[in-house]
Every structure is written in C-alpha cells, then in structure tokens.
Structure 1
Amino acid sequence: MEKREKILNAALELIIRRGLQHTPMSQIADKAGVGMGSVYKRFKNKEDIVNGIYVKIKTEEAALIFVNYDKRNSVYDTFYDVYGRMIDYFLQNPLKFNFISQYAFSPIIEKTTQKEAMARFYSFDEMYARGLEQGLFKDLASSHLTYFVFGSICSWLKCASELQLTVNPEMKAQFLQMAWDSIKK
C-alpha cells in the first residue's frame, strides 16, 4: 500500500474514533507508520486529509454502486439496485459510513472536492431524469430527489447503528420500498 493510502486509512480510523479536533497530525503519521515529512509532502493539513478521505470513499462507493448501471433497465430496477448497493456498502464499511454521514455536508469539504467526488454520481441524475420524463416521481429537481433519498438512507442507517438494530434483507427491501414510495407520484 502506498504512503498516501496508509495516511488516509489511518486518519479515517482516528478521526472517526477520536474526532477531528483530537487527532493530531503526529498521531496520523504514527498510525500510518510514516514520518511527518511524508504526511506533509502529501497533505497541507488535516482539512486536506479529510478532503482526501472524502474523495477516496466516494470514488470507492460510486464504483461499487454503479457497477451494474444500465440505462436500459427500468427506473424502478435501477433505483433498487443502486440504493441497495449503497446500503450494503455502508453496512459493510461502518467507519466510512460514519465519515460520510459526518462530513458529506461539512464546510471542511471544499467545493472543488465536493464537485470532484460527486461527478461520479451523475448516474443518479440520469436515473431521476428518466423517471421524471416517465411521470414516475414528484415534480422536483433530480438533485432534490437524490439528496432526499440519500438523506433518508443515511438517517435510517445511523439510527439502526446507534440502536444496534440488525438490518436484514427483508428490512432493507421494506426500506427501499418506502424510499421509492416517498418520491413517486
């Protein structure tokens, strides 16, 4: 694993477990097994590391959830596939989920970082645009539909995690149906 990846992985774990304010750069370097010079050679400061973690997670997430994306599939099937994969990704990666739920809309994430990371998610806009053309969804912009469903999923998974609820396939299917029902016409 290259040093940049080691630093990002170490920082992710420390920031989620200890908080950003309680994670000095020296601890990140120690956990990553690299020197301070290696950290500062790759990142300006902790905020730069947070932005790097964000892009890394969103890149990984997009690659997983859109792996089967096909415009020829129905909007309904696409919705279930991509959001089902998103739920699975977050359940299988609790540190990454906690990071995204804490920092997705944080001012620490720079506008250029947000734009770079979210460029991988334009398939959502395309899916919602098809659904709007077909009269499937409430008359809202694609971005509003995307963020409503994303926010619902994050809130539900955060509550499930905090309350130590098991998310089984039946519960996941029921939640996906509720998310679909909440935005359909």
Structure 2
Amino acid sequence: MAKQDKRDEIVRAALELIAEHGFHGAPMALIAERAGVGAGTIYRYFENKDVLISELYRELEERIFPLLMVGYAPEKPIRERFLHLGTGLLRYFIENPLDFRYLEQFHNSPYGVAHRRDKLLGENGGRDVFRELFEEGVAQQVMKELPLVILFALAFGPLLSVARDHVLGFVVLDDPLLARTIEACWDGVRR
C-alpha cells in the first residue's frame, strides 16, 4: 500500500469508528486494525489521537467548503445566500451521514469548543462565509439584531436536528421538504 493510501485508509477508518462509537470508543489500535495497518504505522502520520481527530476535522471542512461555494454569489441578497448555504450544508449532511455524525461529535466535544468559539469570534485567522453572511445580514437589518451565537443557534440548530433525524431514519428529506426546512430556518433569523 502506498504512503498516501495508508494515510487515507487511516483517516477513513478513524472517521468510521469515531462516527460509530465516539472518540473514546475508537482507540488507535482499533483504527489501525480497521485501516489494515500496524498500530505503529498511525504514528508515522499522526503524532497522537488528538492530532488525528483535529486533522480529520480539518479535512472534512476542506471537503465541505468548496461544495458549498459552488454557485454561491456574494452579490446576491442575504436571503438567497442563506438559502444556498443552508441547502448545500443540509444536502451534504444527508448525503454523507458518517461525516455528519463525526462533525456533530466534534462540535459537541472539548475538541470542538475552542474551534467553534474562534469561528464565532472571527479569531480563526481565516474567512468564515457563514459569520460574514450573518454580520452583513445584521448590518443591513435583514436579520434579527442578536448575538451571532444566537443567530447561529436559531439557523443551524434546527438544521442539525433535522439532519440527525434524517440520518436516524425518523424523516425522509426530499427536495421540497428540504427547501421548506431551510426556509423555516431563514424565518428564524430574518427580521
């Protein structure tokens, strides 16, 4: 197996095991076994489990962001951009349930708290299209004048809950229902 293939197998195995069993239920030895590599091989690519978890999150973000930006037009009205991003995010989650389950665990763990705080406060050193959209929406008085953390909760809390329920089989999100769901999320933040 080539070096990049081994790394990819380790990342895939970590994603699967963490999504299925959580961070604590996915020891490095089990990840190595699932990846078909020796336990010591993981440490050639990742210094420790914390680095693996953070790197996997970074890779998922890098996978999602370009997909969300396809067809995104910053000159369009706030509402249209919100619907575009929300629809893209929800579609990604329902089409990639392992990624969704991993991201949900990451954001609700100590690993994700600092990352989430930095994103909300704009201290992550990069651009965040969601934060920028919400800041612009508040400045233009198109969105409710609330702290960003509350706007994010009103917009994405329901979206994440619906994605979770879809993944669990409680609801089937077809295109019309998906569109109505994103519209309802918009209703939660619009002025």
Which category describes the TM-score, using the shorter chain as reference length?
0.7 to 0.9
Name the structure 1 match of 2:164. Answer: 158
TM-superposition CA deviations, 1:25-52 (whole Å, max 9, x none):
1221122222223201222332322212
Q: Which moved more, 1:89-98 or 1:107-116?
A: 107-116
Deviation at 1:6, TM superposition (A): 1.8
Deviation at 1:151, TM superposition (A): 2.1
TM-score when normalising by structure 1: 0.86
- 1:5 maps to a residue whose letter is D
Name the structure 1 match of 2:154. Answer: 148
Q: Is the 8 A contact 2:22 2:105 kept in 1?
A: no
Pairing 1:41–2:44 present: yes
Show structure 1 runs of 5+ residues with no match: none
RMSD, matched Cα:
2.4
Question: Quick one: distance in 1 between partners of 2:37 and 2:116?
Answer: 25
Identity of aligned residues (%): 27
Distance change >3 Å, CA 163–CA 36, structure 1 → 2: closer
Question: Quick one: distance in 1 between partners of 2:155 and 2:71?
Answer: 20
Distance change >3 Å, CA 115–CA 88, structure 1 → 2: same
Distance change >3 Å, CA 128–CA 166, structure 1 → 2: same
- 2:92 maps to a residue whose letter is Y
Distance change >3 Å, CA 42–CA 85, structure 1 → 2: same
SS at match of 2:111: coil
Show structure 2 runs of 5+ residues with no match: none
Pairing 1:132–2:135 present: no
Q: Which moved more, 1:142-151 or 1:126-135?
A: 142-151
